[in-house]
Amino acid sequence: MKRFSQIFTLLALPTDFVAVWVSFLVAYWLRVNWQFKEVIFVQPFDDFIVFALWAGLLWVLTLACLGLYSFKGFKNTLGLAARFMVASSVALALLIIVLFLTKTTFFSRLIVIYLWILTPICLLIGRSLLSFIRQWFQYSGAGVEKVVIVAKDRVATILRSHVEGMRPSQALLAVLASPDWNILKQADRVIVGYELDRDAMLQLIRFCEDNGIALQYIPSLTGLYTSQMTIDTISGYPIIELSPTPLAGWGRIAKRTFDIVVSTIGIIVLSPVMLAVATAIKLNSKGPIIFAQPRVGRRGELFTFYKFRSMYTEMSTGEGYGGKQAEALRAKLAAELNEASGLLFKIKDDPRVTRVGKFIRRTSLDELPQLFNVFIGNMSAVGPRPALPSEVAQYDDATKRRLLIKPGVTGLWQASGRSDASFEDYVKLDTFYIEHWSLWLDIKIILLTFKAVFSRKGSY
């Protein structure tokens, strides 16, 4: 199976080279035959072919430096397309620098624009064809990765669904409640869904190393405190330093800039939608259009959180709404009908929700006023779920880590499962996000959120 994977990873090199070369030829043809203005000088086609061959090598080298030939592959087509766009931009910049330094004549600036558009497209088409061929072999039984899951209960069900969704590249061999060495020995990959004790985990790691088996496991909360780890020495002693979050210095500036841009665009573009939702709420039930509530932000600071009101006013909790009667009703529903776990409170058919409220919750339109929270600066476009003060009062030390950064309109919790996730899942996903934040991760989460909203996965 590993040799099969390596063969197709190596085949990506000539595939990408041909894709880049083809994009150069198409760009040349467009410039010569599809003229916006008269071409004064045309580089001979033979010379351009030789130039394209050298440029193709530069592209492949750039792709390699940016990690586009990883043996792990890329699961997300959108992510691969974005990486190709970045790689092509870098390669084009390098090409222009080389042309300038070598004083090489290049007959058209417009052809550079064509290349910037065409190379990512051709690269993606080439990789898609390679992926199609790979899957054809895998449907025939070649190169299929055999997976064994070691997990229990809900986690086992989720991991089983994930592996079954990876067909034809993966095939589920077995789901075990505890390691069975005879079965594990037949696997190409083992996924562990709960925390084993230290000795059992070390034994499993050694077993997988000895048998050439890939090992994946869901870490404990302490196991997630790794991405901001740096190692130094003091007088010969190794010292490990843990930074609180990558959102410091330029990271915080970049994220705030991103939030301002996203919220401004969102408010302008979605203002007609917000006006329509506000009108529907006003016509459907009495009371304010906006539901305002105190929530806990970064470092435990309180702020006013905005949503479109989705419940009947007299049944909404908080000052200026239903008062003690609404609080009592919520407590009763939480005790009798709560479908979530931990500190979460979710009811699929909540009797307090209006007809319009059900629609805007299902489509996440009730969240749109939070764009103003983002613009003001007490929330971010992406981050942990904004918590109630009563929830934060019950946090343990590990859970309080969620308060290191601003809460978000969306987050890994929503993009990965929305209302289906447990509170423990929320904490793990938020911890992972805090440890691994990047602007690209924010963009990816926003795109995945749109997918979750349109699929209506777990929303109610």
Please state the domain count of the chain. 3
- Are 127 and 176 in a shared domain? no
The CA dihedral of 391, 406, 293, 328, to the nearest 10 degrees, is -10
- Are 362 and 415 in a shared domain? yes
Which residue, 107, 139, 171, sits at the end of a domain?
139
- Are 66 and 179 in a shared domain? no
Domain membership of residue 239 (yes or no) is: no
- Are 324 and 443 in a shared domain? yes
Which residue, 218, 234, 261, sits at the end of a domain?
218
Domain membership of residue 113 (yes or no) is: yes
- Are 34 and 112 in a shared domain? yes
Q: What is the pLDDT of residue 234?
A: 47
Length of the chain: 460
Which tokens is 349 given?
Answer: 């058919």
Q: Is the previous residue joined to 168 through a cis bond, with omega within 30 degrees of 0?
A: yes
Domain membership of residue 460 (yes or no) is: no
- Are 212 and 310 in a shared domain? no
- Are 260 and 349 in a shared domain? yes
- The DSSP secondary-structure symbol of 213 reads -
d(CA 53, CA 59): 10
d(CA 183, CA 173): 8
| Strands 229-234 and 237-242, bridge-based pairing | antiparallel
Spell out the per-residue pLDDT of the chain, length 460, in tens. 567 777 888 889 999 999 999 999 998 888 777 766 565 556 778 888 888 888 889 999 999 888 788 755 556 677 788 889 988 999 988 888 887 787 766 656 778 888 899 999 999 999 999 988 988 888 887 878 889 999 888 888 888 988 888 888 888 999 998 889 999 999 988 998 887 888 888 888 888 877 878 888 876 655 555 555 555 554 555 555 555 566 766 778 889 999 999 999 999 999 999 999 999 999 998 889 999 999 999 888 999 999 999 999 888 887 778 778 888 888 888 777 766 666 677 777 788 889 999 899 888 899 999 999 999 999 999 999 898 898 898 888 778 888 888 999 998 887 765 555 667 778 888 888 887 888 888 988 898 888 877 776 555 5
- Are 24 and 126 in a shared domain? yes
Which residue, 83, 114, 139, sits at the end of a domain?
139
* Distant-in-sequence, close-in-space partners of 337: CB < 8 Å, separation ≥ 6: 347
Which tokens is 123 given?
Answer: 């690269």
- Are 54 and 17 in a shared domain? yes
Domain membership of residue 230 (yes or no) is: no
Domain membership of residue 235 (yes or no) is: no
d(CA 65, CA 297): 39
Rounded alpha-carbon distances, angstroms, from residue 44 to 24, 31, 37, 56, 105: 14, 13, 19, 18, 12
Domain membership of residue 304 (yes or no) is: yes
- Are 188 and 257 in a shared domain? no
Q: What is the pLDDT of residue 9?
A: 81
- Are 257 and 170 in a shared domain? no
CATH of the domain at 186: 3.40.50.11410
Q: What is the pLDDT of residue 2?
A: 62
Q: What is the pLDDT of residue 228?
A: 58
Q: What is the pLDDT of residue 214?
A: 84
- Are 122 and 156 in a shared domain? no
Domain membership of residue 41 (yes or no) is: yes
Domain range for residue 185?
Answer: 145-218
Domain membership of residue 441 (yes or no) is: yes
